[in-house]
Structure 1
Amino acid sequence: MKKFIKSLLILMSIGLISCSDVIDVEVPTATERLVIEASLDWQKGTTGNNQTIKLSTSTPYFDTTINNIVVGASVKVTNVDSNVEYIFTDQNDGTYTISNFVPVVNNTYTLEVLYNDEIYKATETLVAVPAINGADQSLEGGFDDEVLDVSIYWNDPIDEENFYFIRFSEEQENFPDLSSISDEFSNGNEMDYFFENDKEDDDGNPTEFLAGDVVDIELYGVSEGYYNYISLLIDQYYAGGDPFSSVPAELRGNCINLTNESNYAFGFFRLSEYDTLTYTFE
């Protein structure tokens, strides 16, 4: 009987081993596309002369080894109102820079990128932003009345539509928290927005704010087109891993391929004035 049981266990082990065949799953890959990161941001109180545009190509989702920077492209931004052209210099690392850009609020600018004999173009207006009035902390402004949050305040201009993009960056955090908001229900009034840390560390412990923690806050004025684009992007980012969320859709920015319409680029050409504030929790 013992020999029978031993033989049976050996046969079962062989069966299990034989069932562990390696199955190669072919993952479909999308067409490689140009990725244009062209956010020309002008911080209040500075000249805004130094600007950088990044170019790369899209890569397969699971591929982390491809060097996808784009060099050898031509990048030009033109102020449509003044006809002044700004030629960006290729730094041979995927970035294209300039040190004499002149930002003018409410002026319209065009971006033109020449890459692989194809011309990509986008048009945007430089949007102003109100100054941040201040910030304060509270246990009552967020979703959890036992966790500290920080709120910022600014005066929304009256009798005009305004759209905002907000970045909250914690010290020693790799990824900022992003938000977008419009003045649809608060036009002409003092607006506010709060940030509450609801993250967890690698062990699943909450990482709420404590005294001494520092947060850098940036408030951007953006166009309605960028507001719609970034709102969808933020929704998809924070819905990651949610089984009940909608399937992410491919987001197209405002960069159009004039040479070959079907070979469109990813990314968005944005021009924004922004204000910044650093807050330390007490």
Structure 2
Amino acid sequence: MPMLRRLVFLLLLLPLACIDPYNVNAPDGERYLTVEGYITTDPGPHSIKLTRTDTYGSAFEGLIRPVVQATVAVRDSEGLVSFLTETSQGVYETPANFRAKVGMSYTLQIDLSNGQSYSSLPELVKAVPKMDSVSYRSVSVATDSRLLDRSGVQLTAHFKDPGDESNFYYWRTGPATFVVVANPELFTLSPNHPTNPRGAAPKDCCAICYYQEQRRVQNFAIGTDVDFNGLSTRKQVTFIEDDGLRFKDTYRAEVQQMAISDNAYRFLKLIEQQLSITGSVFDQPPANIRGNMINLADPDEVVLGYFIAADIDTKQIYIKRTNLDQKLLQTPSIIPDDCRIFPGADTAIPSDWNPN
């Protein structure tokens, strides 16, 4: 009988334990068109990237989808139109001989396959002051862990600001190249080798390769001459982290200094402020930062991104390990193999490599 009572009790409980599925019908987020890219006075091609973002409360959440089969063109203030070619999904490039000119204004025009048309506000290209030099120094960066110190190289641009006008600056880094140092003499066989597991098997080649690096997360810096109008000044433009490989020998960095409009500066300032949010409960939530792109049929539509047209000055600098503070360098990473196993590395010396 006690066993029977327990069985009946369990049978009575089973219906109570069943949970009917609840279908949540969350509304679709808005799909924002995002425009990334700029043109400069350097020779092309220059690229413009078009995407759409499905958002749920923030412009920085959701899925990012390339916008394909659009007609993209740049029109200058004299009426000349240059069409861009879609070279990969959502990426459109100007002709190779295209370059912006100082004193002219440029407008980006986009016609989507669904019939919607967008245009930027005109961007005037102002002359950029030339950099006198770029310097570097070793720096350490504080972290939450005493055992995980970060260190690297700080790059600083030196230039003289003209005193007869207001100037707005934008700094980025171009593709970098560094020497990949390996140790093929330390190569060992596979632990599954049938006769000599983990046995030494030094290779004849190769210890030195060259690798071109384009960082996925692009740092940038901005500035205005409010505090240094007409003066010689310097600006810290980027930090290159030491990952144990970049500074084992020589690292070539490229600094780009651009003159931008006051509106472009204000847009980038808002982006900079958003990126500096620490994530505490007292921080303001991320906002949709509107750029200078407008839907011609619906001016109230939010379009993300900003089309920039700028004069540019570029300088390269070679950073040699022997000139860095050895106490601040990370422990070098060892590659016990041919340097060509490093993805993208090549033994061919770049034709423009000149560290001396």
| One-letter amino acid of the structure 2 residue matched with residue 259 of structure 1 | A
The one of 166, 169, 190 equivalent to 2:171 is: 166
Q: Deviations over 1:141-168 (max 9, x none)?
A: x999x98633210121221010001124
Give the direction of change, closer, same or farther, for the CA distance of 1:23–1:236 in structure 2 (3 Å limit): farther
SS in 2 for 1:33: strand
In structure 1, what is the equivalent of residue 134 of structure 2?
135
In structure 2, what is the equivalent of residue 126 of structure 1?
125
Give the direction of change, closer, same or farther, for the CA distance of 1:83–1:207 in structure 2 (3 Å limit): same
Give the direction of change, closer, same or farther, for the CA distance of 1:226–1:25 in structure 2 (3 Å limit): farther
Give the direction of change, closer, same or farther, for the CA distance of 1:275–1:268 in structure 2 (3 Å limit): same
1:157 aligns with 2:195: no
SS in 2 for 1:174: coil
Alpha-carbon contact 1:197-1:208 (below 8 Å) kept = no
- The separation in 2 between residues aligned to 1:208 and 1:102, in whole angstroms, is 32
SS in 2 for 1:235: helix
In structure 2, what is the equivalent of residue 101 of structure 1?
98
Give the direction of change, closer, same or farther, for the CA distance of 1:72–1:189 in structure 2 (3 Å limit): same
Q: Deviations over 1:77-120 (max 9, x none)?
A: 1112x221112223352122221424211211222111221211
In structure 2, what is the equivalent of residue 76 of structure 1?
73
| One-letter amino acid of the structure 2 residue matched with residue 241 of structure 1 | G
| One-letter amino acid of the structure 2 residue matched with residue 238 of structure 1 | S
Segments of structure 1 that go 5 or more residues without pairing to the other structure are: 1-17
Give the direction of change, closer, same or farther, for the CA distance of 1:269–1:149 in structure 2 (3 Å limit): closer
Alpha-carbon contact 2:172-2:256 (below 8 Å) kept = yes
Aligned pairs, number: 249
In structure 2, what is the equivalent of residue 188 of structure 1?
230
- The separation in 2 between residues aligned to 1:129 and 1:143, in whole angstroms, is 31
Aligned-CA RMSD value = 3.5
Tell me the percent identity.
24
Following TM superposition, by how much is the alpha carbon of 1:219 offset from its aligned partner in structure 2, in angstroms?
A: 1.1
Following TM superposition, by how much is the alpha carbon of 1:245 offset from its aligned partner in structure 2, in angstroms?
A: 3.1
| One-letter amino acid of the structure 1 residue matched with residue 283 of structure 2 | S
In structure 2, what is the equivalent of residue 254 of structure 1?
292
Moved more, 97-106 or 31-40: 97-106
| One-letter amino acid of the structure 2 residue matched with residue 178 of structure 1 | F
Alignment map for 1:233-272 (pairs within 5 Å): 233-272=271-310
In structure 2, what is the equivalent of residue 114 of structure 1?
111
Normalised TM-score (structure 1)? 0.74
In structure 1, what is the equivalent of residue 32 of structure 2?
33
Give the direction of change, closer, same or farther, for the CA distance of 1:27–1:62 in structure 2 (3 Å limit): farther
| One-letter amino acid of the structure 2 residue matched with residue 91 of structure 1 | T
In structure 2, what is the equivalent of residue 53 of structure 1?
48
- The separation in 2 between residues aligned to 1:209 and 1:175, in whole angstroms, is 19
- The separation in 2 between residues aligned to 1:182 and 1:107, in whole angstroms, is 21
| One-letter amino acid of the structure 1 residue matched with residue 105 of structure 2 | T
Give the direction of change, closer, same or farther, for the CA distance of 1:148–1:97 in structure 2 (3 Å limit): closer
SS in 1 for 2:264: helix
- The separation in 2 between residues aligned to 1:137 and 1:49, in whole angstroms, is 29
Give the direction of change, closer, same or farther, for the CA distance of 1:190–1:167 in structure 2 (3 Å limit): same
Following TM superposition, by how much is the alpha carbon of 1:231 offset from its aligned partner in structure 2, in angstroms?
A: 1.1
In structure 1, what is the equivalent of residue 339 of structure 2?
none
Alpha-carbon contact 2:53-2:62 (below 8 Å) kept = no
Normalised TM-score (structure 2)? 0.60
